[in-house]
Amino acid sequence: MNFNELYNIAKELSKEISLNDKSSYGKVAVACITDNNNLYTGLCFKATCNVGFCAETSVIAQMLLKGETKITKLVAVYNGNEIISPCGKCREQIYQLDHDNLNCEILLKNKVILLKDLLPEL
């Protein structure tokens, strides 16, 4: 699967849905491919009390349920169309999930970059 396909999948999922006046989900969506060529998608959960989670975290949880840890390509989409970089916490989670994920390709607005180039010195 190429980055254009991953982007389109994440773009379709990235729609903020309000649960109540203090919580929503879906403003950020992630699509990724593992080394086994499996597709995983995830959505963020936002709560005003800061107990929400990022879309990458929901992807990691699904991967772990299937016994997978290696991500080869990842795209994060904000607000239905904007490609964004995973936050620092998510970058670290992806690395801690499997150190081989340093070579995970991440689509940014104008280029593809490896996770290891987004992390501070290890």
What are the boundaries of each domain within the chain? 3-118
Q: What are phi and psi of 2, to 5 degrees?
A: -95, 175
What is 3-118's CATH topology?
Cytidine Deaminase; domain 2 (3.40.140)
Asked whether residue 122 carries a pLDDT value surpassing 80, the answer given is no
Consecutive H or E run containing 85:
none
Q: Would you give the DSSP letter of residue 36?
A: T
29-85 pLDDT tens trace = 999 999 999 999 999 999 988 889 999 999 999 999 999 999 999 999 999 999 999
Q: Would you give the DSSP letter of residue 99?
A: G
- What does the chain come to in residues? 122
Q: How far apart are CA 43 and CA 38, in angstroms?
A: 17
Percent helix, strand, coil in the chain, to 5, is 35, 35, 35
Mean pLDDT of the chain: 96
